Amino acid sequence: MRASTLPLLIVLGTNLALLACDEEHSPKCAAECEAEGKCTRRGDSCIATAEADCQASQACKNRGQCTLKGEVCVATAASCKALITCTKNGLCSEQAGVCKAVTNDDCKSSEDCEQEGLCSAETGKCIAKDDKDCEGAVVCRESARCTAKNKECTIASDADCESAPECKKQGLCSFAKGACALVSSSDCRKTEDCKVNGRCTLDNGLCVVGSDSDCKQSQVCERKQKCTKRDNSCVAQ
């Protein structure tokens, strides 16, 4: 009987020894304690053993990992929804103890959807899945980034460029070399300056009054009878 219980006592003694070797708030775990709430040293590893350590960590502040589970700090559904990364990036759902974008609804309520067109959930984050995601976003309306490519909104066509304010303002209406550019008199004719002042002809990279014809189709001709080209202006004959 004694022979059979000795190994058990040895095993129990070993386990008790291991437990006794746990060193809470070990200096050697200082970095992991601050970052991840892993403040206790066990052997060569740093582990989490107190929820207060989790709550004091950067992982709690930045990623919602404030709850002790086993020997790690994890996020919960409530902590994810309370984070700025939920409002901004759509990381509003808990999955395997981490805050992620799990559903499209997570993404659609985010600032990244409104601003950048990142409105669809994929592999835990928000992306631009298709052109529909981009078309309702600020980057489409203001910067011509209306086409979904490589999971983000980008400029990919003349149609993208023509939808942006800089087309009417500066004639940046043609897609060239990955950006919106002024490349022809056709671009000039899409501007407000052409419509109002007759600057409808491209010359040395600028939209100018190229002919009497430019003036005659302008509002200054219709309203003020300034229908004749003189230098870069339309004047009364």
Answer whether residue 3 shows pLDDT above 70: no
In percent, the amount of the chain with pLDDT more than 70 equals: 92
Q: Is residue 4 part of a domain?
A: no
Percentage of residues in the chain with pLDDT exceeding 90?
90
Please check whether residue 100 lies inside any domain of the structure: no
Residues near 66 by beta carbon (within 8 Å), at least 6 away in sequence: 51, 54, 55, 57, 59, 60, 73, 75, 76, 79
> What's the mean pLDDT in 213-229?
96
Compute the average pLDDT of residues 159-186: 97
Q: Is residue 9 part of a domain?
A: no
Average pLDDT (164-181) is 97
Amino acid type, 80: C
CB 128 within 8 A of CB 151: yes
Domain that holds residue 54: 24-75
- What is the structure's pLDDT at 138? 97
Question: Is 128 inside a domain boundary?
Answer: no
- Among 227, 229, 231, which residue's Cα sits nearest to residue 216? 227
For range 20-25, the mean pLDDT: 83
- Any domain includes 14: no
**Dihedral of alpha carbons 175, 141, 205, 190, sign:** positive
What gap in Å lies between CA 133 and CA 44, rounded to an integer? 48
Q: How many angstroms separate the CA atoms of 80 and 71, rounded?
A: 20
Interval 7-21: pLDDT, tens? 433 344 444 444 548
- Structural domain total, the chain: 2
The residue-averaged pLDDT of 144-163 equals 97
* Residue 54, domain member (yes or no): yes
Domain membership flag for residue 42:
yes
Backbone phi, psi, residue 57, to 5°: -85, 160
pLDDT of residue 150: 97
pLDDT at 237: 83
pLDDT tens figures, 33-92: 999 999 999 999 999 999 999 999 999 999 999 999 999 999 999 999 999 999 999 999
Domain assignment present for 46 = yes
